[in-house]
Structure 1
Amino acid sequence: MSKVIVITGAGGVLCSTLAKALAKLGHKIAVLDLKFEAAEIVAKDIRSSGDEAHAFEANVLDKASLEKARTEIHKKLGSCDILINGAGGNHPLGTTSKPFLFESDLKDTTEGFKTFFDLDPEGIKFVFNLNFIGTLLPTQIFAEDMVGKDGCSILNISSMNAFTPLTKIPAYSGAKAAVSNFTQWLAVHFSKVGIRVNALAPGFFLTDQNRTLLTNSDGSLTQRGQQIIDQTPMGRYGEPEDLISTTLFLCDENSSFVTGVVIPIDGGFSAYSGV
């Protein structure tokens, strides 16, 4: 049965892949992104295959922007049945320069060098808000459409950072832990009105946001990139398509008794102790 699926952050690599996969099953896709141009590229690509999608500009940190998008979606597609909260990301202002603090670091005057003590509170707020508040606000706006209907669900995007935080990115790790906790809270809160809530926890996928952190300009791995591969039993980064099957399972009515779960898709990273 065709459903109206709203996807935030759908102009990005990962969520655009999910949008296209869900459209191929006959669902009507609302492609939401802060940049309308990015959303429209994805929507046009979907329509070129004969499937239905429309692009909408939406800021997941602005309730008025989301309400406007909801009104437009109702006119073009109908009310929301499934919400995928895909918007998120990290920021350099919430990132330390080194994984460990040494006493000598406190005297390092290199331009741009940041210890934990130098982290910008505004940068940390930005990362936390983008990932957590950027999940909460779209849920407030679109989940109301789902009350009283059958087969509705919400899929959040957490991270394997939520299980064990990575070095250097405390703001992002903390925000994704909040998303996982919120997923469980929502699953309980919405259980009496038939809305299931689950989350994906992707491991390492090369995207525009982390490409320079994990790979050099010639395509070779950075030291951090190599550490990740060495810690991943399957020995590779994830491909966007690796998220599709779990997404389809969690959004399908055949998983009607599955709610409140956070599923790692990480090539075994979170299961490996390193020895």
Structure 2
Amino acid sequence: MSGMHEALKGKTAVITGGSGVLCSEMARELARHGMKIAIMNRTAEKGKQVADEIRHAGGEATAYAANVLDRESLTKAKEEIIETFGSVDLLINGAGGNHPDAVTDHEVFESVPGGKSFFDLDEHGFTTVFATNFTGSFLASQVFGKALLDAESPSIINLSSMSAYSPMTKVPAYSAAKASINNFTMWMAVHFAETGLRVNAIAPGFFLTDQNRSLLTNEDGSYTARSEKILAGTPMKRFGKPEDLLGTLLWLADPAYSGFVTGITVPVDGGFMAYSGV
């Protein structure tokens, strides 16, 4: 990896959903540059594994249990984090995900019976997926926002998706929530611009994660039909690797590199957005 980002040294990063495939890689990289890492997950156990890895590598990290949809648990975690690390300089809103109740079985509507159609989607499942991806980012930003405003050069980085730009079939709640993330990133950036708090987002293209592995690979490791479609639409003809996000992360996190950058969402997608399919 590149040289050290000195401006990050000694600062504190809070990462929601910090034990996930992409966010845990971000946590390890920020720790390598000297940031103190607070990893937040619904259960502290998941985060402890990542925090242990960081500590074994010589970094500073602690895991906290917090549900991004529960303001009280977020507030409790924030108080513990400030007690431990003294400040919050960067918030990464990485918590998200999908749920079968909010996913259609077919890519397009089929009037013949069989499978879960748009009309069978469960309202609770739909709103839960929307909330986990969008409302959770709003609540975490709200709870940690005042602490961020006390920092010297604070920053929020939200996690968007290719689905924010052109919604993927089958996942309407997830897609709508990620589109909201892009819009909310811009709104917050404007609202807080004069305070010095920068707000940006990263929109990963298609990466293999624990959440989508069963959709994208068969048990023998070969690609599913959905994977083949994704790769056909990705000019670089591969899935992203977690480390592909790190350069963008460091650029957005380090005010010495991106001090005048706020309100943008950066696609890291192997050309997916640029390709019309023709």
Q: Which residue is equivalent to 1:167?
A: 169
Q: Which residue is equivalent to 2:273?
A: 270
Is residue 91 from structure 1 mapped to residue 91 from structure 2 by the alignment?
A: no
Tell me the secondary structure at the aligned position of residue 146 of structure 1.
helix
Q: Which residue is equivalent to 1:35?
A: 43
- The sequence identity of aligned pairs, in percent, is 54
Determine the C-alpha separation between the residues in 1 that align with 2:201 and 2:161: 9
Structure 1 runs of 4+ with >2 Å offset: none
What are the residue-to-residue correspondences of 1:61-100 with 2, within 5 Å?
A: 61-100=69-108
TM superposition shift of 1:149: 3.1
TM superposition shift of 1:148: 4.2
TM superposition shift of 1:102: 2.5
Alignment length, in residue pairs? 269
For 2:272, give the aligned amino acid. F
Determine the C-alpha separation between the residues in 1 that align with 2:63 and 2:108: 43
Query: Gaps spanning 5+ residues in structure 1: where?
Result: none
TM superposition shift of 1:206: 0.6
Determine the C-alpha separation between the residues in 1 that align with 2:196 and 2:66: 26
Determine the C-alpha separation between the residues in 2 that align with 1:91 and 1:261: 28
Q: Which residue is equivalent to 2:232?
A: 230
TM superposition shift of 1:103: 2.3
Give the TM-score, by structure 2 length.
0.95
Contact 1:20 1:46 in 2 (8 A): yes
Contact 1:5 1:28 in 2 (8 A): yes
Contact 1:30 1:53 in 2 (8 A): yes
Determine the C-alpha separation between the residues in 1 that align with 2:205 and 2:149: 32
Contact 1:148 1:193 in 2 (8 A): no
TM superposition shift of 1:270: 1.1
CA RMSD of aligned residues (A): 0.8
- Cα deviation 1:41-79 (Å, max 9, x = unaligned): 000000001111111111100000000001110111112
Q: Which residue is equivalent to 2:249?
A: 247
TM superposition shift of 1:150: 2.1
Query: Which of 171, 192, 195 lines up with 2:194 in the alignment?
Result: 192
Q: Which moved more, 1:95-104 or 1:6-15?
A: 95-104
- Cα deviation 1:179-210 (Å, max 9, x = unaligned): 11000000000111110000000111111110
Is residue 260 from structure 1 mapped to residue 263 from structure 2 by the alignment?
A: yes
What are the residue-to-residue correspondences of 1:142-161 with 2, within 5 Å?
A: 142-161=144-163
Give the TM-score, by structure 1 length.
0.96
Tell me the secondary structure at the aligned position of residue 103 of structure 1.
coil
What are the residue-to-residue correspondences of 1:199-214 with 2, within 5 Å?
A: 199-214=201-216
For 1:138, give the aligned amino acid. A
